[in-house]
Amino acid sequence: MAVAVDIQGVSKRFRIYHQKYTSLKERVVHGGHVPYDDFWALDGVSAEIAAGQTLGILGRNGSGKSTLLKCIAGIIQPTTGQVVVRGQLAAMLELGAGFQPELSGRDNIYLNGSLLGLSTREIDRKVDEIVEFAELEQFIDTQVKYYSSGMYVRLGFSVAVSVEPDVLLVDEVLAVGDERFQQKCIDRVEQFQRDGRTIIVVSHSPDLMRDICDQVLVLDQGKVVTLSSPGEAIRAFRQRLAESGFVPEPDRLEGGEPDAEGAPVPLARQRPQVRLLSAVADYAGKEERSYIETGEPLRIDVTFDVATPMTGVQFKIAIISERGQIVYAAMSPKALSGMPLDAGVGTASFQFDTVPLLDGRFGVNIEARDASGITLDLLDSGCYFEVMDPGRAMGIVGMPMRVELVPPGVATEAQAAGAGR
């Protein structure tokens, strides 16, 4: 398959200056030298993105995600390495960049569209569609300085997606507006996927990555942690979060037992405060059959190990379809998080009185969090269960349904009552 974006050993260095000499005398005294430190925002990043593929980029704040996107877009040049992009590229990095507050929304569509490479004739053809998508018909001729922040970013997104590029870069802009508009944004991205366009998206939402991405690149301190399937990448990302959450950065390599190469291992990697050991799906008739039927009860038993006594632990369960979609996800009740946990092995049971799922094999992800919401441990695809629907319904979820058929010429009681009024 053809490669749309080829990232070859990209590193990017910035200089951090600790002092600033403002007078001529200071500059002469110091010989024009201003002390600085090198900061490598990216360090040897390599990846190939195939044409038509959707790649997600995950990482903590400051991990180099946006810097990498700007290198791909050509906004900044890498210090070493290179990026090769094949085809027309459009970048949605900062929505509304270039908007002039004194101009109307309509005027800014033409201004911003031209910055994105659209001709005046192309904008004439698209302007009504842009306004409709942004839901700004009543305010499009108002100066944008009077727009709310939501109106501003909706207009920026609408202009950006009006471009039809071969490669689309999206940086943290799929959560603009209210929930309904967010779904419109996701729908437009999915339309780009169906059209075979290459998409590179940065987001802090692992669930979004799992839903729309083919592969996910995880960055940490400018380096590649993994480039793999969404499930494996999210597990690696959360592991990094867990490690950073328990051991302070200056001491995180102190006090650990040495690994095979003699280097000290971070304490968080040796033994999290709560370690998830296993997850097991249990149901009636498990000894006779390997599946449950739609509507039957199900219990997921999770075994965990507590290192030191603590409170505030919550467990999250997520049921994932074979296509990687989240079918259901929920946290354990907050009332349970106040229960003190002694050191040792315990069990958390998630019980479902009925499972409304239809035919399919479903994975179960389990996550343990502390009182502040930091991930303690994660079981990605900790167990699986299979559902068999004895009926003829199709889809993912079974919905109870009744059908009443009234032959022509036969009046129902409700129709007769309506006619009497």
CB 116 within 8 A of CB 163: yes
- Does the pLDDT value for residue 301 go beyond 80? yes
Tally of CB atoms within 10 A around 3: 15
- Does the pLDDT value for residue 270 go beyond 80? no
pLDDT in tens, 74-103: 889 999 999 999 988 877 776 666 688 899
If phi over 0 gives left and psi between -120 and 50 gives alpha, with beta otherwise, what is residue 225? alpha
Residue 360: which pLDDT band, with cuts at 50, 70 and 90?
A: confident
Residue 142: which pLDDT band, with cuts at 50, 70 and 90?
A: very high
If phi over 0 gives left and psi between -120 and 50 gives alpha, with beta otherwise, what is residue 289? beta
- Does the pLDDT value for residue 320 go beyond 80? yes
Residues 6+ apart with CB under 8 A from 115: 97, 98
- Does the pLDDT value for residue 329 go beyond 80? yes
pLDDT for the residue numbered 95: 62
pLDDT in tens, 34-61: 677 888 999 999 999 999 999 999 988 8
Q: What is the mean pLDDT of residues 380-401?
A: 85
Identify the DSSP state of 276.
Answer: E
Q: Tell me the torsion sign for CA atoms 348, 353, 355, 361.
A: positive
Amino acid letter for position 166:
D
Quote the pTM value.
0.62
CB 67 within 8 A of CB 31: no
User: What does the CA dihedral 195, 196, 197, 198 come to, rounded to 10 degrees?
Assistant: 150
Q: Give the chain's end-to-end CA distance (angstroms, integer).
A: 68
What is the Cα gyration radius of the chain?
A: 27
pLDDT for the residue numbered 255: 36
Residue 252: which pLDDT band, with cuts at 50, 70 and 90?
A: very low
Q: Which residue has 């059959």 as its token pair?
A: 289
pLDDT in tens, 99-140: 888 999 999 999 888 877 788 999 999 999 999 988 899 999
Residue 364: which pLDDT band, with cuts at 50, 70 and 90?
A: very high
What domains, with CATH codes, occur in the chain? 3-234 (3.40.50.300), 271-388 (2.70.50.60)
User: What does the CA dihedral 76, 77, 78, 81 come to, rounded to 10 degrees?
Assistant: 140
Higher per-residue pLDDT: 167 or 182:
167
- Does the pLDDT value for residue 412 go beyond 50? yes
Question: What does the mean pLDDT of the chain come to?
Answer: 82
pLDDT in tens, 278-291: 999 999 989 888 89
Identify the DSSP state of 250.
Answer: G
